[in-house]
Homo-oligomer: A and B are copies of this chain.
Amino acid sequence: MKTLILSLMIAAASFAQTQAPVPVSPEVHPDGRVTFRVRAPKAAEVTVRGEWMAAAENLAKDESGLWSVTLGPVPADIYSYTFSIDGMTSLDAFNNRIKSSSRGAGVSVLEVPGGKMHEIRGVPHGSVQAQWYSSPSIGATRRFFVYTPPGYESGWARYPVLYLLHGNGDTEAEWGAFGRANFILDNLIADGKVRPMLVVMPFGHTVPPNDLGTGRARNTELMEEDVIRNIIPAVEKRYRTAPGAKNRAIAGLSMGGGQSINIGLNNLDTFSWIAVFSAGVGGGGGAAASEAFEKRAAAVLADKAGTNKKLSLLWIACGTEDNAMRGAEQLAAILDKHGIRHILHKTEGAHRWGVWRRYLAELTPMLFR
């Protein structure tokens, strides 16, 4: 009898153990505070650092080896964060939402609900489609994503196309996943603020991402060739696109902003709409960067009347806390000097996806009008 009871106790204990709830991290509380948890019984120090934080914060360990800290309230938005476990940067093992990276395992994602602009609302949803294409320019089969607006499948209309480029270290998945381009467009289309359009999101690293320090100029050149010769033809073969430059826009953030201004100005018969998020003349600004830009764009800058006629919009958006502001202002100054129409849109914000989602929501209502 004693043995039976003991067996039952052991069984109950091991049942309780297997039924112990898996820790939740990040746990977003109703008031916007967020609890982070890390299982690291042997670690001496665990910290968390998120996009919204000025500095890392320490987690505290309980007797079971589970570290935790509650922070905030954190303003409603989508953020990336990482843990540092004894100095080693680490993803949140309990969180299955990851912002991918072209360089490594990426970073964990926190969403604090209430960011109406990018949330899944009860409106018709478009789709996000992975397409593979052959790129002789790069010597590989590559992938781009395409947002198709609600109703695309069942209709006959042809759509204008926004080519939307990511930043250094990102992948072609970022604008659709972490950037929420699809839900932002779904919401704006449902509200009647944006003309239904296709959004094409290619991969902007044409040389190995880790070679970018020395290979940036080559990367932009190859990207231009890939967009013009391979990506646009693949898109226009597979999707119902409206023809001509007035129905094509190119926009991008950071590295992709530099690609957009260079590829756009160099191909005004292909793109009539150009937008630059958090970028400018390139290379962090400075006199040499301005000079190089003016040299690259000399023909377009010299033909003021022709360029202004071809350009429907040249929109440069940058946050006042963003180091890219200097280069953005230099770009605007060069355009001013040559009389090329543009808008320099200065906003609050740093070099962050939260800012770029807003820029996408501000840009797209202006396009194709």
Q: Which residue numbers of A lie inside 8 Å of B, CB to CB?
A: 18-19, 21-22, 39-43, 85-96, 98, 100-106, 108, 120, 122, 125, 127-134, 141, 153-154, 171, 176, 210, 213, 237-239
15 pairs of residues in contact across A and B, judged by CB atoms under 8 Å: A22-B103, A22-B210, A39-B88, A42-B86, A88-B93, A91-B105, A94-B104, A98-B106, A120-B132, A125-B141, A127-B238, A129-B129, A129-B130, A130-B176, A153-B239
Given contacts A22-B210, A94-B105, A153-B239, 5 further A-B contacts (CB under 8 A): A43-B86, A43-B88, A90-B90, A98-B106, A127-B130
**Bound complex: CA A176 to CA B295 (Å):** 45
Q: Are A92 and B105 closer than 8 Å at their CB atoms? A: yes
Copies of this protein in the complex: 2
Partner of A171, one of B18, B96, B210: B96
Partner of A41, one of B42, B87, B92, B103: B87
A238 to chain B minimum Cβ distance, whole angstroms, is 5
**Bound complex: CA A151 to CA B92 (Å):** 41
**Bound complex: CA A125 to CA B133 (Å):** 8
Q: Are B104 and A105 closer than 8 Å at their CB atoms? A: no
Partner of A127, one of B101, B129, B213: B129
A121 to chain B minimum Cβ distance, whole angstroms, is 9
A15 to chain B minimum Cβ distance, whole angstroms, is 10
A32 to chain B minimum Cβ distance, whole angstroms, is 22
Q: Are A104 and B93 closer than 8 Å at their CB atoms? A: yes
**Bound complex: CA A122 to CA B140 (Å):** 10
**Bound complex: CA A95 to CA B133 (Å):** 24
**Bound complex: CA A94 to CA B131 (Å):** 26
Contacts of A104 in B (CB 8 A): 93-96
Contacts of A176 in B (CB 8 A): 130
**Bound complex: CA A354 to CA B120 (Å):** 35
Partner of A238, one of B100, B154, B237: B154
**Bound complex: CA A239 to CA B134 (Å):** 25
Contacts of A134 in B (CB 8 A): 122
Q: Are A95 and B88 closer than 8 Å at their CB atoms? A: no
**Bound complex: CA A85 to CA B40 (Å):** 10
Contacts of A171 in B (CB 8 A): 96
Identify which of A89, A153, A171, A237 gathers the most chain B CB atoms within 10 Å of its CB: A153
Contacts of A131 in B (CB 8 A): 125, 127
**Bound complex: CA A43 to CA B129 (Å):** 42
Contacts of A125 in B (CB 8 A): 131-133, 141
**Bound complex: CA A42 to CA B88 (Å):** 8
Contacts of A21 in B (CB 8 A): 210
The residue in chain B whose Cβ has the minimal distance to the Cβ of A240 is B153
**Bound complex: CA A57 to CA B68 (Å):** 31
Q: Are A103 and B98 closer than 8 Å at their CB atoms? A: no
Q: Given A122-B134, A128-B129, A131-B127: A153 and B238 within 8 A (CB)?
A: yes
* Across the A-B interface, the 10 shortest Cβ-Cβ residue pairs: A125-B132, A129-B129, A128-B130, A153-B238, A42-B86, A91-B105, A127-B131, A22-B210, A120-B141, A127-B129
Identify which of A91, A176, A210 gathers the most chain B CB atoms within 10 Å of its CB: A91
Q: Are A105 and B95 closer than 8 Å at their CB atoms? A: yes
A111 to chain B minimum Cβ distance, whole angstroms, is 14
